[in-house]
């Protein structure tokens, strides 16, 4: 099981203001530190047209990290593939794969913010289908010298992508949220699945559903790889862990929930600043596990028993100190 972490969010949160340029420099430094601490992957995310200047180009951010690291995987967590022409995304990922000597891993999401789709002039309602088709185009583009593809949304004939990547194909994950619909879509397509932050019981249900659908669709078990996002609020006492969770909500996640429509209901509708009593808000709140160091280790072992391939956790230094030694 691989351990992944972030390089920091390059943005200006109202409650935690930073200088944007300093944020990009700090992200490169964070990648160096993550590699030294023993993490297997470090990520950059993507959003557009936000007041907080959230990083819009994750592959360019990762290129800076590639220049100062040697081993760690470079992850997009997530890159919003339906906002790109798949061939453009393929060229960018191939370039980074060459620069990093084969260390790219593409976490690819469908996106959810209407502003991003409207401003780029692309349809939000077809984003799920286009994500699946786009990932197949990326697979073909990074594994075959010449390829053709005929889908509902994308069609290409006799395309040759040069130069060629180091990996064949480049590693990819379908970032499908935390709903049964997303798990089933990934399983049906046989795409590796990166599950969003969820309560552990819910995550286990989604992973089982993903694998069930994937196997029923005829995909080999070894193809059905799973990664998970997991927030752990680790402290010496439970009361301190609860305080840490509230701090993370107040200074980071509630800003996203307010400004990004971060929470989405079962019908795919964005929930902007929902009441804290809302069941989807409560599910997200409870997904941030409040644990002591001993409980944190057991929580990660539970995911290991699920047979997942990778787990993404923030709280980098504490995870490196308390959790990595138990697994590496």
DSSP 127-194: HHHHHHHHHHHHHHHTT-SSEEEE-SS-EEEEE--SSPPSSSSPEEEEE-TTSHHHHHHHHHHT--EE
Query: According to the model, what pLDDT value does residue 252 have?
Result: 77
C-alpha–C-alpha distance, residues 225 and 206, integer Å: 13
Query: According to the model, what pLDDT value does residue 261 have?
Result: 72
Query: According to the model, what pLDDT value does residue 18 have?
Result: 58
Domains, the chain, in order of start with CATH, read 2-232+292-327 (3.20.20.30)
Q: DSSP label at 4?
A: E
- Residue of 9, 8, 13, 10 whose CA lies nearest to 52: 13
Query: According to the model, what pLDDT value does residue 20 have?
Result: 52
135 contacts 107 by C-beta, under 8 angstroms: no
Query: According to the model, what pLDDT value does residue 168 have?
Result: 97
Query: According to the model, what pLDDT value does residue 17 have?
Result: 55
- Residue of 48, 62, 54, 61 whose CA lies nearest to 18: 54
The helix-helix angle for 293-305 and 200-216 (nearest 10°) equals 10
C-alpha–C-alpha distance, residues 241 and 261, integer Å: 26
- Residue of 104, 45, 108, 44 whose CA lies nearest to 72: 104
Residue 66, number of CB atoms within 10 A of its CB: 22
Residue 99, number of CB atoms within 10 A of its CB: 16
C-alpha–C-alpha distance, residues 274 and 22, integer Å: 32
CA 167 to mean position of chain CA atoms: 20
Low-confidence stretches of the chain (pLDDT < 70) are: 8-22, 259, 266-268
Q: Which two tokens stand for residue 221?
A: 């078990």
CA 309 to mean position of chain CA atoms: 14
Q: Which two tokens stand for residue 87?
A: 């061939």
Query: According to the model, what pLDDT value does residue 212 have?
Result: 98
Q: Which two tokens stand for residue 240?
A: 């301190």
Query: According to the model, what pLDDT value does residue 55 have?
Result: 84
Q: Which two tokens stand for residue 231?
A: 């927030």
Cβ neighbours of residue 294 closer than 8 Å, sequence gap 6 or more: none
Grouping H, G, I as helix, E, B as strand and the rest as coil, residue 280 is: helix
The helix-helix angle for 127-141 and 180-189 (nearest 10°) equals 30
Query: According to the model, what pLDDT value does residue 13 have?
Result: 58
Query: According to the model, what pLDDT value does residue 147 have?
Result: 98
C-alpha–C-alpha distance, residues 296 and 323, integer Å: 7
97 contacts 167 by C-beta, under 8 angstroms: yes
Q: Which two tokens stand for residue 90?
A: 């393929």
């Amino acid at each position: 099981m691989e351990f992944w972490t972030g390089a920091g969010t390059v943005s200006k949160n109202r409650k935690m203001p930073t200088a944007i340029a300093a944020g990009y420099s700090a992200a490169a430094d964070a990648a160096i530190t993550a590699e030294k601490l023993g993490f297997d992957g470090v990520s950059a995310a993507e959003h557009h047209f936000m007041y907080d200047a959230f990083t819009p180009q994750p592959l360019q951010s990762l290129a800076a990290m590639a220049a100062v690291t040697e081993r760690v995987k470079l992850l997009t967590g997530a890159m919003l593939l339906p906002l790109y022409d798949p061939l453009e995304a393929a060229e960018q990922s191939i370039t980074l794969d060459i620069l990093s000597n084969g260390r790219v891993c593409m976490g690819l999401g469908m996106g959810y913010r209407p502003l991003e789709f409207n401003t780029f002039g692309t349809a939000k309602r077809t984003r799920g289908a286009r994500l699946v088709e786009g990932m197949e185009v990326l697979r073909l583009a990074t594994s075959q010298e010449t390829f053709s593809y005929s889908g509902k949304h994308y069609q290409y004939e006799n395309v040759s992508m040069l130069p060629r990547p180091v990996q064949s194909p480049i590693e990819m994950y379908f970032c499908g949220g935390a709903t049964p619909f997303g798990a089933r879509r990934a399983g049906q397509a046989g795409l590796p699945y990166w599950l969003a932050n969820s309560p552990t019981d819910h995550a286990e249900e989604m992973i089982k559903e993903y694998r069930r659908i994937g196997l029923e669709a005829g995909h080999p078990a070894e193809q059905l790889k799973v990664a998970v996002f997991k927030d752990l609020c680790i402290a010496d006492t439970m009361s301190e862990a609860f305080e840490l969770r509230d701090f993370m909500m107040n200074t980071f996640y509630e800003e996203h929930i307010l400004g990004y429509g971060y929470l989405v209901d079962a019908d795919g509708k964005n929930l902007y600043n929902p009441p804290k009593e809302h069941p989807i808000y409560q599910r997200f709140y409870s997904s941030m596990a409040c644990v002591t160091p001993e409980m944190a280790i057991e929580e990660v072992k539970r995911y290991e028993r699920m047979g997942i391939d990778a787990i993404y956790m923030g709280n980098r230094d504490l995870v490196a100190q308390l959790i990595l030694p138990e697994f590496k």
